[in-house]
Chains A and B, each alone.
Chain A
Amino acid sequence: MMLIDCPWCGPRGHVEFTYAGDATVKRPAPDASEAAFADYVFLRDNRRGPHRELWHHTAGCRRFVEVHRNVLTHEILGTSAPEVSK
């Protein structure tokens, strides 16, 4: 079990959360090119190491949490409230 420190609820087991993917992808402006949207929808850095990602606290406060986690070791490096723009 990974312990995720929810900024609103405190440390909780990861089974309370639903994984929502890479937190660094940003939706392009509405008038951006098709290629920019294809990048946004499909392409991921998928790095082997520290990864910024979103988890939804489904069985808790139901808010999104940004988790900084090493995907090679599963070590959680920190959590924060995600930027509102997401």
Chain B
Amino acid sequence: MSLAYSALSLARHALTGHRHWPRAWRDPAPKPRYSVIIIGGGGHGLASAYYLAKEHGITDVAVLERGWLGGGNTGRNTTIIRSNYLLEPNAHFYEFSLKLWEGLSRDLNYNAMVSQRGVINLAHSDSQLDQFAHRGNAMRLNGIDCELLDRAAVQRMVPILDYSDHVRFPIYGGLLQRRGGTARHDAVAWGFARAADRRGVDIIQNCEVTGIRVENGRVQGVETSRGYIAADKVGMAVAGHSGHVAAMAGLRLPIESHVLQAFVSEPLKPCIDTVVTFGVGHFYVSQSDKGELVMGGDIDMYNSYAQRGNMPMVEHTLSAGLAILPMMSRLRMMRLWGGVMDMSMDGSPIIGKTPIEGFYINGGWCYGGFKATPASGFVFAHTIAQDRPHKLNEHFTLDRFDRGAAIDERGAGPTPNAH
């Protein structure tokens, strides 16, 4: 069992050349039975296991991961955290998540490198600025910080954008959430893993779930590449692959899987100290601690489980970026990668019970899963432990579509690739 990280432990290990750090979490063989199995060792699954142990005292838990921890979408995003939502269920949920982020490093005894550098959504017309005022007012009524910026205020904060007169999409202003920002994606997975492990959770990597055993409408356990494991309750947190895993339990979901690409440029001197999103095309950018610009855009628009995209979307995204950041034109890209998104039918997540007793779903995160990680784990743990949703996820049910209670932040309708 590893000891707490502190300045003292750092100094002590420095004396022996950092050669004797204990491993951050154990590598146990799966037991034949657990109280709770979480399928998926990404941020959401690990956070769920952590909060099951911490908030509900349930430590007989296994997290099963097909590959390595955080090798899916936890390691394939643009690391942005924010809670600038219009609709109430989303606003309260993501604001709770942001509050958990604010105390996360201390809670986990692991530096998640949360950086509240602000998130600015740019507006490029009067009507768009009006729309941002509307969203900003809704946020403030929900107790969430935000400021409406005029053009001059945006220019003071982000001088490197194109403010010249001849641009196609001039900057009229923006909506700023100062408490938004970024976090370190790997550290989130590792921090939750280590903290869950220290409370007794078994984290089992290279263990692919190949089947879900259901008898008389109740889940019994899971078939895996390392044998059958029985469980009282099973929760899936495999966003991107929710359709694939749910099918093992005979469920069809209001979800399509799509590929979303992200990009990292060569490192630059500090030039953007906040997160900026373009208001016309789909493009968002921040600068990493190493100086790279980290960028993302639209999904590729067609169903895909391949963790790679196509070149036309690379061109599309970077041309959107050039519209506000012409200095990028001579910048070389170092890496690009694709992650598989659970695109739900209303653009909002699904966290809750399923028609199968003891089987719970956490998915449908669309583009928004990373910032949700702590709250997602918190409410999913509650849902599993109490067999009923937490107040913050009571609207994100699987059956909301049948009831006409979709939570459609963008008003795009049941068209997954439009959210």
Query: What number of A residues sit within 8 Å (CB to CB) of B?
Result: 27
In the complex, the answer to whether B306 meets A19 with C-beta atoms within 8 Å is no
Among B81-89, B283-291, B296-304, the stretch in contact with A = B296-304
Whether a CB of chain A sits under 8 angstroms from the CB of B247 is yes
A55 to chain B: which residues have CB within 8 Å? 302
Give Cα distance in the complex from A22 to B242, angstroms.
Answer: 17
Greatest chain B CB density within 10 A among A1, A2, A42, A74 is at: A42
Whether a CB of chain B sits under 8 angstroms from the CB of A86 is no
Encode contact with A along B247-274: 1 for CB under 8 Å, 0 otherwise. Answer: 1000011111100000000000000000
User: Which of chain B's residues has its CB closest to A75's CB?
Assistant: B306
Instruction: Report if A44-B243 is in contact (Cβ < 8 Å); known contacts: A19-B302, A19-B417.
Output: yes
| A 1-20 contacts with B by CB, 8 A | 1-2, 13-15, 19
B310 to chain A: which residues have CB within 8 Å? 1-2, 14, 74
In the complex, the answer to whether B304 meets A38 with C-beta atoms within 8 Å is no
Whether a CB of chain B sits under 8 angstroms from the CB of A72 is yes
In the complex, the answer to whether A44 meets B255 with C-beta atoms within 8 Å is yes
Would you give the shortest CB distance from B315 to chain A, in whole angstroms? 9
Give Cα distance in the complex from A2 to B301, angstroms.
Answer: 13
A2 to chain B: which residues have CB within 8 Å? 310
Give Cα distance in the complex from A6 to B312, angstroms.
Answer: 19
Whether a CB of chain A sits under 8 angstroms from the CB of B67 is no
Give Cα distance in the complex from A23 to B250, angstroms.
Answer: 21
In the complex, the answer to whether A44 meets B254 with C-beta atoms within 8 Å is yes
Question: Which A-B residue pairs are the 10 nearest by beta carbons?
Answer: A46-B243, A42-B254, A42-B401, A19-B302, A48-B244, A43-B252, A38-B402, A48-B305, A72-B305, A15-B312
Q: Can you list 21 A-B contacts with CB-CB less than 8 angstroms, sorted by A residue number?
A: A2-B310, A14-B302, A22-B256, A22-B303, A38-B402, A41-B414, A42-B254, A44-B252, A44-B253, A44-B254, A46-B247, A46-B255, A47-B243, A48-B243, A48-B244, A48-B305, A53-B302, A53-B303, A71-B302, A74-B304, A74-B310
Instruction: Report if A71-B305 is in contact (Cβ < 8 Å); known contacts: A38-B402, A43-B252, A47-B244.
Output: yes
Instruction: Report if A19-B252 is in contact (Cβ < 8 Å); known contacts: A48-B241, A73-B306.
Output: no
Whether a CB of chain A sits under 8 angstroms from the CB of B183 is no
B195 to chain A: which residues have CB within 8 Å? none
Whether a CB of chain B sits under 8 angstroms from the CB of A60 is no
Whether a CB of chain B sits under 8 angstroms from the CB of A28 is no
Instruction: Report if A45-B255 is in contact (Cβ < 8 Å); known contacts: A2-B310, A51-B303, A71-B305.
Output: no
Encode contact with B along A32-46: 1 for CB under 8 Å, 0 otherwise. Answer: 001100110111111
In the complex, the answer to whether A43 meets B254 with C-beta atoms within 8 Å is yes
A42 to chain B: which residues have CB within 8 Å? 254, 345, 401-402, 414
Whether a CB of chain A sits under 8 angstroms from the CB of B311 is yes
In the complex, the answer to whether B243 meets A71 with C-beta atoms within 8 Å is no
In the complex, the answer to whether B417 meets A46 with C-beta atoms within 8 Å is no
Greatest chain A CB density within 10 A among B241, B247, B255, B257 is at: B257
Selected from B254, B304, B414, the residue in CB contact (under 8 A) with A71 is: B304
Give Cα distance in the complex from A55 to B305, angstroms.
Answer: 18
B257 to chain A: which residues have CB within 8 Å? 46, 48, 71
B416 to chain A: which residues have CB within 8 Å? 21
Would you give the shortest CB distance from A39 to chain B, in whole angstroms? 8
Would you give the shortest CB distance from A77 to chain B, in whole angstroms? 14
Would you give the shortest CB distance from A9 to chain B, in whole angstroms? 18
A39 to chain B: which residues have CB within 8 Å? 252
In the complex, the answer to whether A45 meets B243 with C-beta atoms within 8 Å is yes
User: Which of chain B's residues has its CB closest to A41's CB?
Assistant: B414
In the complex, the answer to whether B253 meets A38 with C-beta atoms within 8 Å is no
B244 to chain A: which residues have CB within 8 Å? 46-48
Give Cα distance in the complex from A19 to B418, angstroms.
Answer: 11
Instruction: Report if A45-B305 is in contact (Cβ < 8 Å); known contacts: A14-B310, A15-B312.
Output: no
In the complex, the answer to whether A46 meets B303 with C-beta atoms within 8 Å is yes
In the complex, the answer to whether B303 meets A71 with C-beta atoms within 8 Å is yes
A73 to chain B: which residues have CB within 8 Å? 306
User: Which of chain A's residues has its CB closest to B404's CB?
Assistant: A38
Give Cα distance in the complex from A53 to B416, angstroms.
Answer: 14
B254 to chain A: which residues have CB within 8 Å? 42-44
User: Which of chain A's residues has its CB closest to B308's CB?
Assistant: A74
User: Which of chain B's residues has its CB closest to A13's CB?
Assistant: B312
Besides A44-B255, A46-B256, A71-B305, 20 other A-B contacts (C-beta < 8 A): A1-B312, A13-B312, A14-B310, A19-B417, A21-B415, A21-B416, A34-B402, A35-B402, A39-B252, A41-B414, A42-B345, A42-B401, A43-B254, A46-B243, A46-B252, A46-B257, A47-B243, A48-B257, A71-B302, A71-B306
